[in-house]
Structure 1
Amino acid sequence: MPVATADLASNTPQELNIDMLLRLPAKSVGKCRDAAETITRYGFGYDSSNDDYKIVTLSYDWRVVATESYPAFVDVFSWGIGMWWRIGCFPYVPSSHFGVFLNGFIHWLAYSKVDKECVIIALDTSCKKFKQLSWPDTDHTSHKSGRELVALGGCLGMVVVQSSHRMDVWMMMEYGVGEFWTKFIVTTPENVYAWGSI
């Protein structure tokens, strides 16, 4: 039943993810929040090779983001064994509040100070290694707000708000293959910004 369990992880509502974080032991949660200057992003996924749920935090000090060397720390909590471990640092500033779980990876939008552009990073929940995915044919050099990753119909997608009445939805039709990003334009009579977080 790993497939059904993996599907459950990818379809878990954000409220349940937050509820699970709140149920962690106080010592564990404290590890996520070192100081008021620390910004933490979260991800929740399923490791099918170990039949285990993982909570991932990406934490960085917002005061040093403007410098060339900023450590962003990656910590993983194993639900099965009930402990945290740090898997290292990485050269990105995560911009997505919550990661999107799909195909065994947790995905975030992030900014690479090395390349000076926005990227999609993905953490393999089994081997705990990051990879960078290709970006759709849209501006990836600005810290544009109104961009979010989503999982739609088993595909990774990106929603880009273009105006108050229009958004572009990009879908990666074949996972991990950049040429297969397909663009859909959505127009609405209602104000897109009134929807709040995408």
Structure 2
Amino acid sequence: MVKKNRILLENKSTHSHRDLRMAHVFLSDDLIVQVLSLLTIKSLMRFKSVSKQWKTLISDPTFVKLHLHVEHQKNIWFRIWNPATKTISKRLRSSFGYLTPLRYTFCYDNSTTTYKVVVLFPTHQVKILNLRDNSWRTISSFPPFHHVTPSSRIVNQGVYLSGTVNWFAIQTDLSIDYYHHRKDITVDQFVIISLDLATETYMKLSPPRGVDEVPHFEPIITVLMDCLCFSHTLNLTHFVIWKMTEFGVEQSWTQFLKISYQNLQVDIRFGQYGELRFYQLIPLCLSENGHTLIFENSVSSQLILYDLRDNRAEVTCDNKINWFLAKNYVESVASIC
């Protein structure tokens, strides 16, 4: 007879009513081992205190070997959902481990009329998933000595525009953190690396020439009005957005907006001594009439609606939504895969 353990699970679906119910679920020892083998080492150390049996299990050499194998060899699956048609793709095979920090970009290859997922690894290796046949390809890594800074892991996962994927990077052979090593960086090291999905080749683009000093916070690239945009803070008083009116032509950079943080109702200093904190203001999208620009405040999960006509901002706050993960969505009836 297979031994079973009883585990109490919280029914999270009733949180809105503050009615917490406990369900009794029985899991076999084998299943518990499989579940625990997927956890991080930090979590396993915590779960040692659950019971003597779990402490013994987690310390067992057989489990240690299993966990090491899973950590290095486990592959994951994911699906892609089309909100317009309410259809979901089949399970898509991944070729990397569960715990690997990655940057994903969902995109469309005009040359082959195929949807693709571009994945950038911490080692700067790039893999492309073709959703037509669910196949992965590894392409050439980033040009040498170009570093995508750690802080861009969230806000700069790759920007798709006209058959290309673009990342902000710094030309250096060092693995640096922008926020803590800003004084060691020069504007001349700034670069935008653009991957052409059709040719699978890279092109380097320079930022606007009007950027003559290293901003206190890492610059951000986004797409507004179907144009590549470069955004940065200026003297801790203004937020500036540049627009590349003709993609790939560096001479076409023009200053689109220069907005004071005061008008945006943003205070980038905090604390008793007014110290400076890491801060990212992320342009999400521009309304169809061109009157309202929507920003996300990475510090406090605020959504800022800025009216360009009267330079006024309306600040909303919803702690249940991670706005920094928001992407522009265009409805399509096309089959994903």
Instruction: Please confirm whether the aligned pair reaches a TM-score higher than 0.5, indicating the same fold.
Output: yes
CA contact (8 A) 1:32 1:59 kept: no
Unmatched tracts of structure 1, length 5 or more:
1-17, 61-70
Q: Are 1:126 and 2:213 an aligned pair?
A: no
Distance 1:114 1:33 in 2: 26
Moved more, 112-121 or 87-96: 112-121
Which residue among 124, 131, 143 is the counterpart of 1:79? 131
Report which of the two structures shows the higher radius of gyration computed on alpha carbons.
Answer: 2
Task: Quote the residue 2:165 is aligned against.
Answer: 106
| Equivalent position of 1:186 in the other structure | 259
8 A Cα contact 1:168 1:185, kept in partner: yes
Q: Work out the CA distance in 1 between the residues paired with 2:191 and 2:138.
A: 22
Alpha-carbon shift at residue 112 of structure 1 (Å):
2.0
CA distance in 2, matches of 1:100, 1:130: 14
Instruction: Choose which of 47, 59, 73 in structure 1 pairs with 2:109.
Output: 47
* 1:89 counterpart = 2:141: yes
Q: Report how far residue 139 of structure 1 moved.
A: 4.7
Pair 1:25–1:83, CA change in 2 (3 A): same
CA contact (8 A) 1:155 1:173 kept: yes
Give aligned pairs, total: 166
Kept in 1: contact 2:79–2:92 (CA 8 A): no
Separation (CA, whole Å) in 2 of partners of 1:27 and 1:58: 16
Report deviation, 1:189: 3.9
Asked if 1:20 is matched to 2:74, the reply is no
Aligned-residue Cα RMSD (Å) equals: 3.2
Distance in 1 (CA, whole Å) between partners of 2:134 and 2:216 is 37
Change (3 A) 1:173 1:83: same
| Matched residue, 2:227 | 155
Deviation at residue 25 of structure 1 after TM alignment = 4.0
Higher strand share: 1
Any stretches of 5+ residues in structure 2 without a counterpart? 1-77, 82-88, 175-184, 268-278, 280-295, 299-323, 326-337
User: Which residue is 2:248 aligned to?
Assistant: 176
How many Å apart are 1:118 and its aligned residue? 2.3
Letter in 2 for 1:42: Y
Q: Which amino acid aligns with 2:265?
A: E
Higher RCO (C-alpha 8 Å, min separation 6):
1
CA contact (8 A) 1:39 1:59 kept: yes
8 Å CA contact 2:194–2:202 kept in 1: the answer is yes
Alignment correspondent of 1:195:
297
Q: 1:165 & 1:190 partners in 2: Cα distance?
A: 11
Instruction: Please tell me the residue identity of whatever aligns with 1:89.
Output: S
Q: Per-residue deviation at 1:163?
A: 5.8
Q: CA deviation at 1:162?
A: 2.9
